[in-house]
Amino acid sequence: MSLLERLKAEIAATGPMRVDAYMARCLHDPIDGYYATRPALGEAGDFITAPMVSQMFGELIGLWAVETWRALGSPPRVLLAEIGPGDGTLMVDALRAARLAPDFLAAADLWLVETSGPLIERQRAAIAAVARPRWAESLEALPVDAPLILVANELFDCLPARQLVRTKAGWAERRVGIGAGGRLAFGLAPVLDGPAAVAPTGAVVELAEAQAALAGDIARRVCGQGGAALIIDYGRDAPGCGDTLQALRRHRPDDPLADPGGADLTVHVDFPAVLAAARAAGAGAALLTQGEFLRRLGVEQRAAALAAARPEQAERTARQLERLIGEDQMGQLFKAACIHAADLAPPGFEGASWPR
């Protein structure tokens, strides 16, 4: 029985399900979930992440990790972890750049937090030549006996969110039920826990409870054992309304209800909620756009060096740079957030704070 058929049977038996529950099933169902069975990354897949755009992205994150380790006092052991490592490209590029600091590589205990079997195999094949990582299924499974430097690139957008809609009668929760012709369809159910904010009729508010919960867990980690986490993703830097649920298939938008488990489902990251949760747990928090963050790390100088070393690829490098930092591409919509121990000044975020 397909995931679609199983979801229909469940809805028929227990009633329409919340959007966050639907997202979780589509992405992580152990039999038919997108990440559990068929994650498709890259040009031939469903979406491309920044590490696949250019080696510069991962290289600069590798150097950020080195400088963060130095800001921690260059401890003899540090946990270097990535949550949701994709196909391993980011970490491969990061470790290559980190070879400039052999003491850091000697200190780094590399962990990859991943639940997808197919992606673990891709990560293993990509990283085996440069490092011997260990895998964990959750943040909680990571050791706690050393400072933590953690990276999460395009992970938070995959964490499910609830959707509330303002109606003339008050707030209602968007749910997935069975509509005309037996197809999945969105519907509404009244709720009593709607936002206090005033919103016009028809406005959609997304409650990123899972995003905030993970941010709080990360914050408690870096406060307890020292360190910093770098979170890069697309999303908003101020509270607001809007339906951002989307499905991607072969780089094109798709109907999120058409083929459960067959496409990637995401929502925009609610960075205000993420950083507020981190601060509530006692951590420091800072936020920049991806373009500003990469510029601060020297991406333009790195692009110039690559163009000089490979003149035949100079135009390609320039296009990659524009893709990463251009305001009409990834530079503005994507944000770089840092959650860090209160006594740590993470590199690249000097003078940055949230809210501004």
Q: What are the pLDDT tens digits along the chain (356 aa)? A: 899 999 999 999 999 999 999 999 999 999 998 888 766 554 554 567 899 999 999 999 999 999 999 999 999 999 999 999 999 999 999 999 999 999 999 999 999 999 988 899 999 999 988 899 999 999 999 999 999 999 999 999 999 999 999 999 899 999 999 998 889 999 999 987 778 777 899 999 999 999 999 999 999 999 999 999 999 999 999 988 999 999 988 768 889 999 999 888 999 999 999 999 999 999 999 999 999 999 999 999 999 999 999 999 999 999 999 999 999 999 999 999 999 999 999 999 988 765 55
Question: In whole angstroms, what is the distance from residue 232 CA to residue 289 CA?
Answer: 9
- Report pLDDT for 131: 92
* 43 domain-assigned: yes
Q: Name every residue whose Cβ is closer than 8 Å to that of residue 129 and which is 6 or more positions away in sequence.
A: none
Q: Kindly tell me the sign of the dihedral angle through the C-alpha atoms of 54, 55, 58, 62.
A: negative
* 3 domain-assigned: no
Continuous H helices in the chain: 3-14, 19-28, 34-37, 50-53, 55-71, 89-98, 102-107, 117-127, 209-225, 271-280, 290-297, 299-309, 314-325, 330-333
CB 168 within 8 A of CB 201: yes
- Report pLDDT for 40: 59
* 333 domain-assigned: yes
Q: Read off the tokens for 353.
A: 């704070």
CB 159 within 8 A of CB 28: no
Bond from prior residue into 355 cis (ω within 30 degrees of 0): yes
Angle between helices 89-98 and 117-127 (to 10 degrees): 30
Q: Read off the tokens for 254.
A: 């798709």
CB 339 within 8 A of CB 218: yes
Range of the domain at 135: 26-159+209-340
- Beta-strand relationship, 227-236 and 269-270: parallel
Question: In whole angstroms, what is the distance from residue 275 CA to residue 337 CA?
Answer: 8
Closest to 340 measured CA to CA, from 252, 279, 276? 279
User: Residue for token digits 């957008």?
Assistant: 157
* 171 domain-assigned: no
User: Residue for token digits 């197809």?
Assistant: 183
- Report pLDDT for 193: 77
Question: In whole angstroms, what is the distance from residue 46 CA to residue 41 CA?
Answer: 6
Number of H helices, E strands in the chain: 14, 16
* 21 domain-assigned: no
At 9 the three-state DSSP class reads helix
* 19 domain-assigned: no
Q: What are phi and psi of 328, to 5 degrees?
A: -95, 10
CB 87 within 8 A of CB 58: no
Question: CATH number, domain at 149?
Answer: 3.40.50.12710
- Alpha-carbon distances of 160 from 20, 24, 95, 102, 303, rounded to whole Å: 5, 6, 31, 39, 36
* 229 domain-assigned: yes
CB 86 within 8 A of CB 120: no
Closest to 356 measured CA to CA, from 277, 278, 272? 272
The total domain count for the chain is 1
* 351 domain-assigned: no
Q: Read off the tokens for 114.
A: 């991943």
